[in-house]
Amino acid sequence: MLNFFRRQTANTKDDVLSGLTVALALVPEAVAFAFVAGVSPLIGLYSAVFIGLITAVLGGRPGMISGATGAMAVVVVGLVTIHGIEYMFPAVILCGLIQIAIGFARLGKLIRMVPHSVMLGFVNGLAIVIGMAQLGSFKILDLDAGEMVYLSGIRLWLMLGLVGLTMLIIVGLPRFTKAIPASLAAILVVTMISVGINRSGQIAGDGISSNAIATVGDMLATHATAATASEQLANGQEIVPVEASIGGGLPKLFFMEYLVPEFSFETLKIIFPFALTLAGVGLIESLMTLTLIDEITETRGRGNRECVGQGVANLVCGLFGGMGGCAMIGQSLINVNSGGRGRLSGITAACCLMLFILFVAPWIEMIPMAALVGVMFMVVIGTFEWASIKMISRIPPSDYFVMVLVAGYTVVMHDLATAVILGVVVSACVFAWKHATHLGADTKINEEGSKVYQLHGPLFFASASSFKELFDVQNDPEDVVIDFYYTRVYDQSGMEAIRTLTEKYQAANKRLHLTHLSEECRTLLDRAGELVEVNLSEDPQYHVATDRLA
């Protein structure tokens, strides 16, 4: 299904129009994640502006969209709740510095260690999470009960009808014209219909707004009111709807509006764990998104540059009172689907979002949530790798298990970074288990009467025990040769197993010859004494893994 997003190379018009589409989709996401983090909607919107603009200019993946994300918000909320919002800004700044250091250390290439099964699980799990997140738009705050309830009656049918119309336009419009992104056209058409319906008739008394079709403005009011509803009910008060808007002025440096924590070791102890977690979560999600966009566009981004770009963006975001952020896979896929390929698309999205805040907030708040939900449902359909359902009989069971595990963990825990790490760890364990049994030896007696062990397979921590069991020290002749020509020694455990074996032959007063060993193994075995001979005349064909990277 990733072919759904493939297009020809984009141009300036496609980048600008797709950027505008993404900006519209960023509004509810940034606001929702701000409420998750326990901060005001404007902080989420400003974060999306700074993160989106700077990563579009400095990042390593043109066409990828970054902003305020749920992955970062769930980390930030703990810091804000325990220590206060004033500690959030230096934590985001420190997060940026850590990410910059990781980029300059060229550690972004570690994303290559993520197996394809983990990538499939990540993509499928994320598609399900994005889809489930849209269900919240089908709820409204019941003022009498003080809780969110699902839409019913005419509201529900109108919502479903407009969501379906949005998806129909996105699918059908490209068959007639590609002059305008289908997602943008769908939003505009459904918005005009929504405005007409809301002005022609209203439904009163069953929620925050009397609008028949919920809009972005209604969503803002619902979130703001829901934040205080439980407290008002607990105090025996009537729930009072709270006004909310995305409108605001230019952002200011955080120390101009908030108290600045004392710069001390105690402050560092508070913010460093959160900053380190933010940096790790942000980079994992960003690099995974980069890899996915690479696959879709059949181009290659630069992981280390993306790390630096994300770091600079978070550094500036923290300075201007933001909550930090990273790459957004949903909005990135909207951008790609709309034809956005260059840096201009991300720059346009960030600039348009800033213009929304400054000048056109009332108009943006008229956009129906149904239009944005329809766009995101199309992203879900295009993101999910449907072919993976049929792979169960075509790929190793262990790979399918890893894919399901990553997808399941993503859906249940909503933690993409941990899901990826878990998948990599499980894949590594499976790989080690499989290859631990691949070590073997062919034996023969040569013309000098020496017993020759010709080893095959990898020698590392998982196969070290099997290596030791290959030899019969007590019954071997006085002269033994171990040939490592077809064996790769990968780690210290492998070298330690060789050293232990040489000591056993030495204790049995038998002469041992080791051939085709790496330089590290030779150095380690220099202490084995005269009874162990390492053949220096042979040119080793396989080396310890670190030799090959030097």
How does pLDDT run across 9-38, given as a tens digit for each residue? 558 899 999 999 999 989 988 887 887 788
pLDDT digits (tens, 9 = 90+) for 114-152: 888 998 898 898 889 888 888 888 988 877 666 788 888
Mean pLDDT taken over the chain:
85
Q: Is the pLDDT of residue 87 over 90?
A: yes
pLDDT of residue 234: 64
Banded model confidence at residue 517, pLDDT cuts 50, 70, 90: confident
- Structural domains in the chain, CATH included, are 2-383 (no CATH), 440-549 (3.30.750.24)
pLDDT of residue 339: 87
Can you tell me the mean pLDDT for 237-262? 83
pLDDT of residue 41: 87
Of 273-282, 413-422, 519-528, give the range with the top mean pLDDT.
273-282
0.85 exceeded by pTM: no
Name the DSSP letter for residue 202: B
Q: Which of 456, 78, 425 is nearest to 270 (CA)?
A: 78
Query: Taking phi first (over 0 means left), then psi (-120 to 50 degrees means alpha), and beta for anything else, what does residue 13 get?
Result: alpha
Backbone angles phi, psi at 518, to 5 degrees: -75, 165
Q: For the sheet with 440-445, list strands across it.
A: 440-445, 451-459, 479-489, 511-515, 532-534
pLDDT of residue 539: 42
pLDDT digits (tens, 9 = 90+) for 369-396: 999 999 889 888 888 888 888 888 888 8
pLDDT of residue 190: 95
Backbone angles phi, psi at 488, to 5 degrees: -105, 130
Can you tell me the mean pLDDT for 465-482? 91
Q: Which residues of 148-169 are buried (b: 16+ CB within 10 A; e: fewer)?
A: eeebeeebeebbeebbebbbeb
Tokens read off for 494? 């492998």
pLDDT of residue 127: 86
Tokens read off for 383? 């993101």
Tokens read off for 40? 């005001």
Q: Which of 28, 128, 107, 41 is nearest to 279 (CA)?
A: 107
Q: Which of 413, 482, 428 is nearest to 460 (CA)?
A: 428
Q: Is the pLDDT of residue 206 over 80?
A: no
Rounded Cα gap, residues 26 and 169, in angstroms: 20
Banded model confidence at residue 262, pLDDT cuts 50, 70, 90: confident
Of 210-214, 230-234, 294-298, give the range with the top mean pLDDT.
294-298
Rounded Cα gap, residues 535 and 60, in angstroms: 48
Can you tell me the mean pLDDT for 342-369? 93
Instruction: Name the pairing type of β-strands 532-534 and 511-515.
Output: parallel
Our measurement of the distance from residue 424's CA atom to the centroid of its chain's CA atoms, rounded to an integer in Å, reads 13
Q: Are 306 and 100 in contact (CB under 8 A)?
A: no
CA dihedral in degrees (209, 215, 218, 223; nearest 10)? 140
pLDDT of residue 526: 59
Q: Are 43 and 293 in contact (CB under 8 A)?
A: no
Q: Which residues contact 294 (CB under 8 A, 6 or more apart)?
A: 61, 300, 301
> Which residue reads 């009072």 in tokens?
240
Tokens read off for 146? 């003080």
Q: Is the pLDDT of residue 468 over 60?
A: yes
Lowest-confidence pick of 97-101, 282-286, 288-292, 513-517 = 513-517
CB atoms < 10 A from the CB of 60, how many?
A: 22
Q: Are 51 and 314 in contact (CB under 8 A)?
A: yes
Rounded Cα gap, residues 54 and 66, in angstroms: 9
Q: In this prediction, what percent of the chain has a pLDDT beyond 90?
A: 39
Q: Are 408 and 123 in contact (CB under 8 A)?
A: no
Banded model confidence at residue 210, pLDDT cuts 50, 70, 90: low
CA torsion sign, 116 to 117 to 118 to 119? positive
pLDDT of residue 538: 46
Rounded Cα gap, residues 25 and 55, in angstroms: 18
Q: With 0-12 CB in 10 A as exposed, 13-18 as middle and 19+ as buried, what is 97?
A: middle
